[in-house]
A and B are shown apart, each in its own frame.
Chain A
Amino acid sequence: MNLKRMGKRGFVFQLSGREKRILFETFKLYPLVPATHHRLSKAAGDQSEENQRLLEESLTEQRTANRQQLEALLNDPGRFKKSGSNYRLPLKASELEWLLQVFNDVRVGSWLALGEPDEDKPPAITPENFRYLVAMEVCGAFQSVILAVLGAPESAEGLE
Chain B
Amino acid sequence: MAETEVLPDIEHVEKTDSQSDLAPAWLVICWNDPINLMTYVSHVFQAVFGWNRQKAEFHMLQVHRQGKSVLVRTTMEKAEHFVHELQKYTLHATMEREP
Contact = CB atoms under 8 A, between A and B. Distances in A.
A42 interface: yes
A111 B83 contact: no
Contacts, number: 63
A119 interface: yes
Interface string B30-57: 0001111101100100010000010000
Contact of B87 (A59, A111, A143): A59
A119 B38 CA distance: 14
B89 A101 contact: yes
Given A97-B47, A105-B90, A118-B34, A40 B39 contact: no
Interface stretch (B1-9, B12-20, B91-99): B91-99
A108 interface: yes
Interface residues of A, number: 31
A122 to B, nearest CB: 12
Contact of A33 (B36, B40, B90): B90
A108 B83 contact: no
A51 B80 contact: yes
A88 interface: no
Contacts of A59: 84, 87-88
B37 A41 contact: no
A95 to B, nearest CB: 14
B37 A143 contact: yes
Contacts of B37: 140, 143-144, 147
Contacts of B89: 100-101, 104
Contact of B84 (A55, A108, A136): A55
Q: Which 6 A-B pairs have the closest CB atoms?
A: A111-B35, A104-B90, A38-B87, A108-B90, A147-B39, A41-B94
Interface of B: 33-37, 39-40, 43, 47, 53, 80, 83-84, 87-90, 94-97
Given A40-B83, A104-B89, A116-B35, 9 more contacts: A43-B97, A46-B97, A59-B84, A59-B87, A105-B90, A111-B35, A119-B34, A147-B37, A151-B43
